[in-house]
Every structure is written in C-alpha cells, then in structure tokens.
Amino acid sequence: MKHSKELIVGLSLAAAVVVFALGIRFLQDVPLFRSTYVLYTHFESAGGLSGGSPIRINGVDVGAVENVRLDTDNRVRVRLHLDDNVHIPEGSHAEIGGIAALGSNYVVVFPGPPGNPAIPGDGYIEGVSSPDAFEAVTERSVRLTENVEEALANANVLLEDTGLLIGETGADIRPTLRALREVTDALAQTLREEQESVKEIISNVEIVSEDLARISGTSADTLAQTLHRLDQITVHIEGSLKTLEDATQNLDEILEKINNGEGTIARLLNDPTLYIQMGSTLGAVDALLQDLQDNPRKYLRHMDIVDVF
C-alpha cells in the first residue's frame, strides 16, 4: 500500500517529465522519436535568429535551430538540428533569411553539388552572412545618395567655373575642358554603377514587401515602423533626384552658352569626345531618373497590399 502510493506519485512525475520534454521537441518541430543530426555553423551576426527557428531548403522545412551562442571569438555559433533523411552535400552553405524586425528569421541552406558526399553529423556547414534585406536597403540607399550628391557637387563647382571661363574670351579653356571631361567621366561612371545598385535596392524592396505581405497581420506595429522607414528612404531618393535635375539643368545652360559662344566655340566643338561624353552622361542621367521615378510606385504598389491590415 505504502509502496503503491509512492509508485503512483513517481509514475505521474515521470510521465510529466516525459510529456514536457516531448512537448517541447514537438512544438519546436523536432521529430519526436525519429532521430536528428546536428550541424553547426558560424555567422557574423545572428540577426534575430533564435532556438526553434526553422531551417529551410528551397522553402521546405528540414529542421530547427537548437541554439544560438556567442563563441569565444565573438562570432555567432549556431547549432542546427536537421532531419535524418535530409542530406546536405559538402560545399553547401547557410544564410539567414527573413526579417529580424518581424521576428520571422530562418536559416536557408543552399545545397552544394548533389554529387558531393553528405556532411557528417556534428560537422560544419559554412555560414554566409548576408545582411538583413531591410538593413541592406537602408544602408545602400544612403550610400548611393551620398555618392551621387558628391559627384553632383563636384560637377556644379566645375560647371560654374566653366561658365565663368567661357564668359571671359581669350582665356585658355583647355584645362577647363580636361577637367570637365574628367568630371563627366566620373559622373557617368557613378551613374552607371549606381543604376545597378538602384535596381538591386528595388529588388530588395520587393523581397521585403513580399515578406511583409506574407507575415502581415502578426505585428501591425512593426509594419507601421517598416513603412515609415521605407517612406524615409523614398524621400531621400527623391532628394537626390532633385539635385540631379539641378545638375542637368546647369549642364544644359552651359551647353547653350557654348553653342552661342564666340571664339572659343570652334575649339570646343572640335573636341567631339567631350560632346559624346556629355551626351552619354545625359542619357544615363535620364535613364536613372526614369528608373527612380518609376520604381517607388512599384514598391508603393506592394505597400498597398500591406495597408489592408
């Protein structure tokens, strides 16, 4: 009798421990009885990743993060629990996906060549740190604006100088023209480069808005914050566009002066490279303007979906 009482108490406690442990495993999406194996990886930043975050290959859940720790060298060490039937070949790498601000991070595994042997348990999979899509947008657009502004400021100064020189007949315009060519070269290059990054930004923004649309409804506050940030970016980009327009106007004015000019015009016109250079620069500026003016609409359209919530 006495023993059976102790037995019942013991049994119920043991049952509770088992249910608790299995329950946590179950809710973490770790298979209850099927075994898993462990890989670990390093990231520069955990970026919102935590124990229980899913692991995905091509969008399919294949396991869960067990824990996220700081290593002795301050890098982030992440233990991954992967389902036993998932084979990750050598040469694969892992990245952090999702948006930290919305608490929906996951680990994306990009499998290496399928022919390679699988990484064994407790092995290491390379972790590639890609900045959070959001941070990327903010960082990039700020950098872009700065670059463009700098180039434009330089151009303005030089163009003003040129205007001054053109007004004074008989002055030697040669160094001025050389400088102008350098400037336009630089401007063209900047614009060409930044056109790429603007495209990248736009595609990033699209990813973000897709993520937003998917997760919408879970955290309205974070969404409001996100929208606010995106608005700021737009304002920024619009500011840069205005500066760019001012600059082109300046260029137009100068060209007009050159066309109507006196003795120096011939020499100026004899330098076709400059002309072509200017033409292509203006073309690039136009394209950029077009792109930038179109694209805010593009992501604002995505925003509209989000606004429903």
Confirm or reject binding of residue 38 to another protein (CB under 8 A).
no
Helix/strand/coil (H/E/C) assignment for every residue in 110-145: ECCCCCCCECCCCEECEEECCCCHHHHHHHHHHHHH
CB of 217 to another protein, least distance (A): 6
For another protein (CB under 8 A), the number of binding residues is 24
The closest alpha carbon to 296, from 210, 257, 238, 256, belongs to 238
Confirm or reject binding of residue 32 to another protein (CB under 8 A).
no
Q: Candidates 18-26, 112-120, 164-172, 227-235: pick the segment binding another protein (CB under 8 A).
A: 18-26
Confirm or reject binding of residue 48 to another protein (CB under 8 A).
no
Confirm or reject binding of residue 13 to another protein (CB under 8 A).
yes
Distance CA 103, CA 178 (A): 54
CB of 250 to another protein, least distance (A): 49
220, amino acid identity: A
Confirm or reject binding of residue 34 to another protein (CB under 8 A).
no
Return the residue matching tokens 């509770």.
16
Q: Candidates 5-13, 80-88, 198-206, 224-232: pick the segment binding another protein (CB under 8 A).
A: 5-13
Q: Candidates 44-52, 154-162, 237-245, 278-286: pick the segment binding another protein (CB under 8 A).
A: 44-52
Confirm or reject binding of residue 16 to another protein (CB under 8 A).
yes
Neighbours of 65 (CB within 10 A): 22
The closest alpha carbon to 273, from 167, 152, 184, belongs to 184
Distance CA 254, CA 184 (A): 13
Contact 104, 211 (CB under 8 A): yes
Exactly one of 41, 209, 216, 264 binds another protein (CB under 8 A); that residue is 216
What distances in angstroms separate CA 286 from CA 18, 23, 183, 192, 261, one per listed residue? 68, 60, 17, 11, 26
Distance CA 257, CA 252 (A): 9
CB of 243 to another protein, least distance (A): 40
Q: Candidates 3-11, 82-90, 159-167, 268-276: pick the segment binding another protein (CB under 8 A).
A: 3-11
Exactly one of 175, 217, 263, 283 binds another protein (CB under 8 A); that residue is 217
Exactly one of 31, 48, 52, 111 binds another protein (CB under 8 A); that residue is 52
Segment 127 to 156, residues that bind another protein, using CB under 8 A: none
The runs of H, that is alpha helices, within the chain are 2-27, 133-167, 174-215, 220-260, 263-269, 272-307
Q: Candidates 6-14, 145-153, 197-205, 248-256: pick the segment binding another protein (CB under 8 A).
A: 6-14
Confirm or reject binding of residue 220 to another protein (CB under 8 A).
no
Distance CA 255, CA 159 (A): 10
Spatial strand order in the sheet of 123-124: 123-124, 36-43, 76-83, 60-70, 54-57, 106-110, 93-97, 126-128
Confirm or reject binding of residue 309 to another protein (CB under 8 A).
yes
List residues near another protein by CB under 8 A.
Answer: 2, 5-6, 8-9, 12-13, 15-16, 19-20, 23-24, 26-29, 50-52, 216-217, 308-309
